[in-house]
Structure formats: structure tokens, C-alpha cells
Amino acid sequence: MKRFWEEARTAPGEGGFSILLDGRPVRLPGGAALRVQAAPLAEAVAAEWQAAGGAKGGEMRPEDVPLTRLVGTAEERIGTAPEGTVAAIARYGETELLCYRTDISRLAARQAAAWDPWLTWSARTLDAPLRVTTGIMPVPQPPEALAALHRAVARHSVLGLAALGVAVPALGSLVLGLAVVGLHLDPAEAHRLAALEEAFQEEFWGVDPDKQARRDAAAADVALAARLVRLAG
């Protein structure tokens, strides 16, 4: 859409900060004014709108305001019924990426070295010990561990759930997603861990541009999720 505003700024008020475009509030698709609780996050959202489109009359894209989109998702979709989002995210634990190993010895060694510490973290910190298997056949995880992972997801705020909803699918790993959103793991390192097998294959076959583009998009999603949580405080 065309940028119609000169200035984007924050305005404190009841229920948090509004984001004003030339004095008019940014609104959610449902019509309610966007409200942001944390001042650093509100300033970052306003900065997105200030930069979007470059100047008045410029072309603004939804991709220009990724934090706004996540905050809006948290408020309008997740906040009204978080249980469904919690359940959808927690289901990733049933097919946790870190539990599926190759039978190629060199890659298996890398997976063990890189992934075992985070499975240990899951067992010790989240009380969710998970089973490891070789190959792609599903391995059933202990019900107690899956319940613990569900609780770990449910403890997050609606903004935390919005961040998990981006990070976990991008990584294909609930454990790594929880570590990133809990600020225990750098998002770039989490993405490197999740892309371990693809990086190994590229050592032999070279870089596939399409796969690289998908990895870059996933890395950006994980970084955005971590940024949202840091700004929200």
C-alpha cells in the first residue's frame, strides 16, 4: 500500500503504548487499536513504520513491519484463545528434530556433538528426557516428557507464544525453539544446529540456491522471534 504518513511515534495510554501515524493509531485487522506493553518494543514497532516505504507516498509492504505482524498475531489471534496455539506448538515435541539421527557415521558424530547437549538441557531444565532413534521411522516419546514440553510452552506469555509460533516451525525443533525464546540459545546458532544435515550435504554437492533461500528465510524468522522476546522484556 502507499505510505500516507510522515511520522510514526509511540503514545502512552491505558493498556499500553499506541503506535500513531501522524496522530492516527495503527489498528489490527479486527479494528482495535494496536497496544504494546513494553516501551522498547513499542519504539521498535514505531521505527518499523517510520522506515516503511521510505517516505510519504512510497510503497509499503507487509514485510516492512514484521514486529507489528507478530504483536498483532499475539493480541488478536493468540490472546483470545491461547490453548490452541499451545497445543499446536507442543505437538512438535512428538517429532523433535534432535531425536532423529542419520546412519552416516561422520554426520552422526556431528549430530551427537551438536544436539546431545540440548537434549540434556531438555531433560534437566524442562524435565523432558527424549528418546533418540536412527532413521526416519517415528519414535514414540514418553508421555511424561511430552506433558513437560506442553507445560514449558504454556508458561509463555502471548508474545512468547507468537515468538514460538515463528521459531519452532522455522527450526523444526521444539527444544531449540524453547531455548531461543527462553534466551538460552543464540538464534543464529540455533539455526545452524537445525540446518546441520543440509550443511553436511552441501560439502559434497554444493549449495542449492532454492534451499539456501529457504534457510535464509528461516534464519530471519528465528532472529525475529528472539528480537521480539528481548524487546518485550
Q: What averages of pLDDT result for each successive group of 10 residues across the chain (233 residues)?
A: 94 93 94 95 98 93 96 94 97 97 93 98 98 91 98 98 98 98 98 95 87 94 98 95
What domains lie within the chain, and their CATH numbers? Answer: 8-65 (3.30.2180.10), 82-232 (1.10.3580.10)
Model confidence over 12-49: pLDDT tens digits? Answer: 988 899 999 999 999 998 999 999 999 999 999 999 99
Q: Which long-range contacts (CB under 8 A, 24 or more apart) does 163-168 make?
A: 163/70, 163/225, 163/226, 163/228, 163/229, 164/89, 164/225, 165/73, 165/78, 165/85, 165/88, 165/89, 166/70, 166/221, 166/222, 166/224, 166/225, 167/221, 167/222, 167/225, 167/226, 168/89, 168/92
Give 129-140 pLDDT, tens digit per residue.
999 999 888 899
